[in-house]
Amino acid sequence: MKKTQLTRHWFIRAGVSLLLVLGPAAGLVRAQETCLLEPLPLSQRVAAAALVVEARVTAARSQDEGAHIVTLNELEVYKVFRGALPVGNLTVATAGGTVGLRREQATNSAQLAVGQQGVFLLVPDARQAGRYRLYAGPQGIISYDLTTATASEPFARYASIEQELYPALEAPAGQAFRAVRPNSLLQARLSRAARPTAAPFISSLSPAVLTAGTGAVLTIKGSGFGATQGKGMVGFRNADNGGQSFVSPLPSEYVSWSDTEIKVRVPSVAEGDGGTAGSGAVLVTNGTSESALSLDNLTVTYALINLDYQPNDSSPLLAYPVALAGADKQGGYTLQYNERFAANTAAKEAFERALLTWRNGVGANRKIAATTTTTNAEDQRDNINLVSFDDARELDAGVLGVTYSYYTGCSNGGPISWVLTGTDYIFDGEQFWQFTSAAPTNGQFDFESVALHEQGHGLQLGHIIKPGAVMHYAIAPGSRNRALSTLNEVAGGNAETNFSLTATTCSLGAYARLAPVPLPVTLVSFGAEVRPEGVQLQWRTAMELNSRFFALEAADDPTASAWTEVARLPAAGTSASPRDYAYLDARPLSALRYYRLRQQDLDGTSHYSEVLTVTPAVADTQLAAYPNPFTTELRVRLPAAPAATLRLLDLAGRSVYALPVPAAQTSLTLTPPALQPGVYLLEWRSGSQVQRTRLLKQ
């Protein structure tokens, strides 16, 4: 099977960088990404690590070990906080790498860069005696930033390496560190006296809103940048750890540099241990190591995954976009469940709800084929796009899910082109998951949200800094991030598709070109309305291809009871125009009821809609609105009262629509002005009486 990105999730996702150094005339690719980690306390990580050292990566090389490509990193050790140094070289293996023009990348697996410094929390590598791996993946390294003399990890930042980080390591280790050799670079930075030269000043950032990994150029104006770049650099907030650190573009990404103006491309792959550029203040460091932060923030709405590759030793390291290809020869990618995963019906349905969200949002062509006996990410060349639980505990501690992505590159005499050939999605099989559409409780992680995020990586979307967004690097237990944002995920997915449709064909090889192949069904709305005669269900499709039927299913409690098919309606088969469907469920409604649609294609493939929750009507006392989610029109049931006001509020509490309600009016239909998709509050207010209900605008 294929792999290239490993990602673990919890409520925060973090980033690290991967540097792969090959032999002479070989290629170099770097990339990094981590996400959705379950945070582990530093004391727990120190106690679990066999060896804790302060060190620098001096060399790295990638090698194909059959099942996977790994990168072997050599460390030069300065201090030992726990354990005994091995005799000879200290080698740390990290997942992923580049061999020739084959690339394997693992999100949620820390990646290291030559020259990178930090504290490494290590355990023996079970795959080969004598070498080590990071404990807890990305949480196994605390990276140093010598520009700011700080350290950071996925969930913490240390403003002082000596005063904050060292004591935090020594306390759980129960001993002071042992010095092995001087760390001259760190000591030079810590002891550097204030320079008499003037620090740079940033007066403006333009444009204020940009995207990462698309070639978008940021113009930074100010003073004191230096007449030439020299050792100067621009730092962007790291979206792979929520902005705990800064990432710097590759040298090739700088367009121009003068004392008063810098032009630089916003990166999704960066130097050293950098990750993806995210929203926040921008840091400029001039050639004499004086730094300044911008007063204004840059907003990065989405990021497309890039690979950096160095064709040979004399070439610069360049950032390359990645094209999606029709690996299944049908314009998309076909996934297969492992038998154990397929047996977990709730997990399977949650994964497919996430697929449907991407399908409806950006037209992502992903299909499910027959199950497979393959377990975990066993072989990079098995041609299986696997969806599985980690039966053999393949995932590191604290990792909720992993996306392995596989790439191949080619050149017909010109620049290298890269294409995604496949993905594997592996999830923690022992996590306390909420698989159903209900809200997670009691510390549960929402499986659908994690699957939606991982599938976003499979669509080549990187992280952004926007809590609550699908591609934000973190998700908290008990929360749900299931709605795509038009500005973020939808725009990013469309940009990736548009690039793939026009990308060079040289790298496709045995793969078909990604094409705007019509998907079997595009569901644009699904709603319910409680009426005296029963529950009226309605749904609309924008287009259909080889669609057989819709089955309407219901459950009183999807967490405790099975879904029951209450109706089956023939589908249009093939239709390029919108189609409307409706069914009245006349059964008495005395308690909460849940509904969903199961759409089946002619080839037997099934897809599930989101789940609707329907509440019994309470005559003249309860505010309610249907359909929910809605597109343009809302039907509202109102409490009986004197004159009232009806308002739509965004999540910031701002009124985006208001309407007076005459006395004793108990229902109305309203069509709000054009609204951005998202969550809104419908508020009814009469004197001191206030009722509110949440609505989702599609």
Mean pLDDT of 285-306: 93
Note the pLDDT of residue 462: 94
Note the pLDDT of residue 356: 85
Does this chain's domain 34-192 share its CATH topology with 323-501?
no
Question: Is-contact 580 563, C-beta < 8 A?
Answer: no
- Amino acid making up residue 350: A
Work out the pLDDT band at 12, boundaries 50, 70, 90.
Answer: very low
- pLDDT tens digits for 531-578? 878 899 998 887 777 788 999 999 887 655 678 899 999 998 887 778
Q: How far is CA 484 from CA 358, 409, 436, in A?
A: 8, 30, 19
Residue 435 sits at φ, ψ, to 5 deg, of -90, -25
Question: Is-contact 484 490, C-beta < 8 A?
Answer: yes
Highest mean pLDDT among 258-267, 413-422, 475-484, 612-621: 258-267
Dump the DSSP string for 630-664.
Answer: BSS-EEEE----SSEEEEEE-TTS-EEEEEEE-TT
State yes or no: pLDDT of 219 exceeds 90: yes
Work out the pLDDT band at 391, boundaries 50, 70, 90.
Answer: low
Note the pLDDT of residue 264: 97
Note the pLDDT of residue 25: 28
- Runs of H (alpha helix) within 261-380: 339-343, 345-362
The C-alpha torsion from 206 through 212 and 217 to 218, rounded to 10°, is 30
- pLDDT tens digits for 427-454? 998 888 999 988 898 889 999 999 999 9
Sequence-ordered list of residues with C-beta below 8 angstroms from that of 430, at least 6 positions apart, any chain: none
Domain boundaries, the chain: 34-192, 201-309, 323-501, 522-614, 624-697
Note the pLDDT of residue 509: 58
b/e for 132-142, b at 16 or more Cβ within 10 A?
bbbbbbbbbbb
Note the pLDDT of residue 145: 85
Q: What percent of the chain has pLDDT over 90?
A: 37
State yes or no: pLDDT of 347 exceeds 60: yes
Work out the pLDDT band at 15, boundaries 50, 70, 90.
Answer: very low
Mean pLDDT of 468-485: 90
To the nearest whole number, what is the mean pLDDT of the chain? 83
Note the pLDDT of residue 32: 35
pTM for the whole thing? Answer: 0.67
Note the pLDDT of residue 677: 79
CATH code, 323-501: 3.40.390.10
CATH code, 34-192: 2.40.50
- pLDDT tens digits for 31-61? 334 567 778 899 999 999 999 999 999 999 9
Work out the pLDDT band at 508, boundaries 50, 70, 90.
Answer: low
CATH code, 201-309: 2.60.40.10
Check residues 648 and 626 and name the one with the higher pLDDT. 648
Work out the pLDDT band at 510, boundaries 50, 70, 90.
Answer: low
d(CA 55, CA 74): 10
Lowest mean pLDDT among 40-54, 520-534, 591-605: 520-534
- Helices 447-458, 345-362: axis angle to 10 degrees equals 50
State yes or no: pLDDT of 308 exceeds 50: yes
CATH architecture under which domain 624-697 falls: Sandwich (2.60)
State yes or no: pLDDT of 28 exceeds 60: no
Note the pLDDT of residue 343: 93
CATH architecture under which domain 522-614 falls: Sandwich (2.60)
State yes or no: pLDDT of 334 exceeds 70: yes
Note the pLDDT of residue 451: 96
Note the pLDDT of residue 550: 93
d(CA 566, CA 576): 28
Highest mean pLDDT among 5-19, 43-57, 389-403, 642-656: 43-57
d(CA 304, CA 211): 8
Check residues 483 and 75 and name the one with the higher pLDDT. 75
- pLDDT tens digits for 73-127? 999 999 999 999 998 889 999 988 888 888 888 777 777 888 889 999 999 998 8
Note the pLDDT of residue 520: 59
